[in-house]
Amino acid sequence: MWQQPEAELLSLAEQELRKIGLLRDEKIAGGFVVRLPRTYPIYAGDYKHILSEIQTYIKQFENLQVVGRYGAFKYNNQDHSLLMGILAAQNVLNPGKHDLWEVNSDSEYVEEASVDAASATGKMPVPQ
Ligand SMILES: Cc1cc2nc3c(=O)[nH]c(=O)nc-3n(C[C@H](O)[C@H](O)[C@H](O)COP(=O)(O)OP(=O)(O)OC[C@H]3O[C@@H](n4cnc5c(N)ncnc54)[C@H](O)[C@@H]3O)c2cc1C
């Protein structure tokens, strides 16, 4: 797929958009393909051991925090990455308060969540 010609990928995208009902009889005006390398952290081989060596090395720097999908090499969704950012900001105000490596450490991919009363009123709960 990585090497497929642009026209074929555009055609595939069109078919899929029609299949899931986002497009019906509408015509496509245009499209383009962006090939972005290394967008997914790939957990292969002995990555945990290698990653733990890097974590240990990084931990010696008191004024350095690594966050996000690429900073932490975690299969984050956007919620995880935003949470890491919020917790990192809190660590600046209160050093050592949160262990950022603990965010998304259960390896579960969660796409569903329930809306509680706070978020239903538009007030996003911020971790304390
Ligand atoms: C195809 C795909 C589909 C996804 N679908 C979903 C989804 O449906 N729901 C969901 O919650 N998450 C989804 N994600 C995951 C989500 O995109 C990521 O979890 C989130 O964007 C990670 O945020 P981040 O801040 O870690 O990294 P990013 O959002 O990638 O931000 C990193 C930024 O750093 C910049 N950068 C990189 N190197 C340098 C450098 N040397 N100097 C300066 N800037 C640099 C990059 O240009 C980029 O802007 C998807 C990801 C992909 C790839």
- Distance between Cα 125 and ligand 1 center (Å): 23
- Distance between Cα 81 and ligand 1 center (Å): 9
Q: Report the candidate in 38, 41, 31, 35 with the shortest Cα–Cα distance to residue 2.
A: 35
Question: Relative to the CA of 70, which ligand 1 atom is closest?
Answer: 26
| pLDDT computed for residue 20 by the predictor | 97
| pLDDT computed for residue 112 by the predictor | 53
| pLDDT computed for residue 104 by the predictor | 82
Residues with Cβ within 8 Å of residue 116, at least 6 apart in sequence: 125
Q: Using one digit for the tens of pLDDT, what is the confidence trace for 69-124?
A: 889 998 888 999 999 999 999 999 999 899 998 888 765 544 555 556 555 554 55
Alpha-carbon distance values, 18 to 1, 5, 30, 33, 34 (Å): 20, 20, 15, 18, 21
The closest residue, in CA terms, to atom 37 on ligand 1 is: 70
| Distance of alpha carbon 38 from alpha carbon 70, whole angstroms | 9
φ, ψ of residue 102 to 5 degrees: the values are -80, -20
| Distance of alpha carbon 73 from alpha carbon 76, whole angstroms | 8
Q: Using one digit for the tens of pLDDT, what is the confidence trace for 8-49?
A: 999 999 999 999 999 999 999 999 999 988 888 888 889 999
Q: Report the candidate in 36, 35, 40 with the shortest Cα–Cα distance to residue 73.
A: 40
Question: Relative to the CA of 69, which ligand 1 atom is closest?
Answer: 26
Asked if pLDDT for residue 128 goes beyond 70, the answer is: no
| In the block, residue with structure tokens 């090939």 | 35
Residues lining ligand 1, Cβ inside 6 A: 39, 68-70, 76-79, 81
- Distance between Cα 28 and ligand 1 center (Å): 27
In terms of phi and psi (left: phi > 0; alpha: psi -120 to 50; beta: otherwise), the region of 104 is left
